[in-house]
């Protein structure tokens, strides 16, 4: 995941805490365990590279994706989780008047 998302060790740790889709992919349940920290992800990468498994694993995953008509490339992942907007208590007409006043140059402060 670090390679595909072009993340550093600290960036990977942050991403695992911030993005549910990455935790799901890595099968990490924060209710039962913590996400791997920066040191753990770096050590894992070095173990794979030291054993010559990094490239092999990358090619196996690429083959699997190709066979299933999927592809991966380096880039950014955006978490598009939908959340409910809290009600502000401002009626639309009040908000419209405030916007109109600001557009005219009024700041609503008298003095």
Per-residue pLDDT of 71-80, as tens digits, reads 766 655 565 6
> What pLDDT, on a 0 to 100 scale, did the predictor assign at position 111?
44
**Alpha helix positions (H), 1-111:** 2-5, 9-18, 20-26, 38-50, 53-67, 92-103
Q: Average the pLDDT over 19-34 and give the result.
A: 89
To the nearest 10 degrees (0 to 180), the angle between helices 53-67 and 38-50 is 90
3-class state of residue 45 by DSSP = helix
pLDDT of residue 38: 87
d(C-alpha 28, C-alpha 5), whole Å? 18
């Amino acid at each position: 995941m670090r390679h595909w998302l072009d993340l550093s060790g600290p960036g990977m740790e942050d991403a695992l805490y911030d993005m549910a889709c990455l935790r799901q992919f890595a099968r990490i349940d924060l209710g039962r365990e913590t996400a791997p920290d920066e040191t753990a992800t770096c050590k894992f990468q070095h173990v794979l590279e030291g054993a010559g498994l990094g490239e092999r694993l990358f090619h196996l995953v690429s083959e699997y994706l190709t066979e299933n008509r999927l592809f991966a490339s380096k880039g950014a992942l955006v978490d598009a989780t939908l959340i409910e907007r809290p009600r502000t208590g401002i009626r639309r007409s009040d908000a419209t008047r405030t916007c109109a006043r600001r557009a005219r140059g009024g700041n609503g402060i008298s003095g």
